[in-house]
Structure 1
């Protein structure tokens, strides 16, 4: 059924005659008549009847009016929906790994807000495994995480953001006391300060300690990267973090690196989505921005 037939039907009702409807729609009267006949044929019911010189609605035509109004109203809503998308409006749900959220995403958010001020961005800090699972379930639109966790399968599409080196860091005092993280079989009386067990760089470092048979006194587990750094700066232990997250502290001399056989180890950050997820203009904007500014 042609939408234009429904629009013609509604215009006839509004204007009161076939001729005035033809004038308003810039059709010939024969075109109006043809469209009404086509609509009557599709509905298998007469919609107008001639009373004297006037064409008036039949009972079927009267009953059709609310249905036509509903259809045309829905079409208008769809047009507005498309316009909203093109104007970068709507909601976007994004989850990001803690270190990316703290040190890479803020610059992205600033640009995103400048270009899409009417959008609503819902952000969550999650570990990389949970981000992967949320993308697979479709509970978030986009995820910013480290692909080193593996298990992405063929259901996710990822966009590379950047590759980042990792660093074993401590305060100058702790490094002077414990400079050797290479000799196997050591028992070092200091804690490892890091976030939750599913943290990808925690897993890398703990696997290294196991391989080298190096034992640390205990683990202090925190969820805040700034808090972890503050404890390490205050001689509480060592941590293993992406270099970008400790760049300022290394430059200021508050932290320093300790040599290990993990020197040169990198992790790769990506922006991911479910492969079947429709890429809205908002999603595309965020993907473009995080790939541009997240690597800086």
Structure 2
């Protein structure tokens, strides 16, 4: 029997359906269905039955739940034998999107250093498209980034969280007569933003293009902190993950502007090559990330 099949079964029970379990595990729905079918064949029982449009647990499926939980608990204990803090050694190479690195991973990095002091941790910060490429090439062990679409079957990816985006300006910015939700206009200001391949830059520029909105020019910077300081100095506006500007919005150093793409979200994920051996160091880091994002 494949332990992964029991993990999939447990996820379906916890998430309520096959599609949510697939999203949680980073699988396609057909993979989840196939794993459950294999488990049913191995156990010679029917775990789910279709009632209307829904797949529901059979009585035997319900009976399996406590046994699956007990089995997976024992597996976790066995897996932890090789992950005692003092025993973890080796190298771990991670690529991270800058905003996640600066604002979401500090606690994870602190705990990892405490739990695995003998691991040589290497971290590089780059845009999400580049992270995806070096994961496929095997240049790093793990990537923490935003989902940029174009699913690749050679990568295993797991969703961490969705994040809101915010169009920001200086409190001194004269916005009374400006409406960023109105199409067909030229606005006398600059866009201060990251490199061209930034996923949230693509969202805003796509919205401006579709609505025929033009700004004076674009100031391209590679540091979110530098972008925020330039915006606070009223050199232009920017479009960033809201969690990166929450402190400045609270203390009044920045203001939020309504824009037609404000309801867009970006999805943070972690990913690794499907053939990658998950070392004890990598396993620990992933678990700390999952704990920090409250992923079961």
TM-score, normalising length from structure 1? 0.69
Counterpart of 1:105 in structure 2 is 105
Moved over 4 A (4+): 82-86
SS in structure 2 of the partner of residue 180 of structure 1: coil
Deviations 1:230-277 (A, max 9, x none): 000111111000000001001111111111111221110001000000
Contact 1:179 1:259 in 2 (8 A): no
Deviations 1:275-294 (A, max 9, x none): 00011111111111122225
Contact 1:166 1:266 in 2 (8 A): yes
Distance in 2 between the 1:178 and 1:164 partners?
29
Aligned pair in 2 of structure 1 residues 265, 122: CA closer, same or farther (>3 Å)? Answer: same
Structure number, greater radius of gyration: 1
Deviations 1:59-116 (A, max 9, x none): xxxxxxxxxxxxxxxxxxxxxxx79998111110000011111111211100111111
Higher mean alpha-carbon deviation, 129-138 vs 279-288, is at 279-288
Deviations 1:36-57 (A, max 9, x none): xxxxxxxxxxxxxxxxxxxxxx
Aligned pair in 2 of structure 1 residues 237, 89: CA closer, same or farther (>3 Å)? Answer: same
Q: CA deviation at 1:151?
A: 2.0
Give the gaps of 5 or more residues in structure 1.
1-81
SS in structure 1 of the partner of residue 173 of structure 2: helix
Contact 1:162 1:295 in 2 (8 A): no
Aligned pair in 2 of structure 1 residues 178, 108: CA closer, same or farther (>3 Å)? Answer: farther
Give the gaps of 5 or more residues in structure 2.
1-81
Aligned pair in 2 of structure 1 residues 175, 283: CA closer, same or farther (>3 Å)? Answer: farther
Aligned pair in 2 of structure 1 residues 178, 161: CA closer, same or farther (>3 Å)? Answer: farther
Q: CA deviation at 1:176?
A: 3.0
Question: May I ask how many residue pairs the two structures share in their alignment?
Answer: 214
Distance in 2 between the 1:206 and 1:214 partners?
9
> What does 1:82-231 correspond to in 2, within 5 Å?
87-147=87-147, 149-174=148-173, 176-177=175-176, 179-231=178-230
Contact 1:132 1:152 in 2 (8 A): no
Bigger helix fraction: 1
Deviations 1:117-157 (A, max 9, x none): 1111000001100100000010000001101x112311100
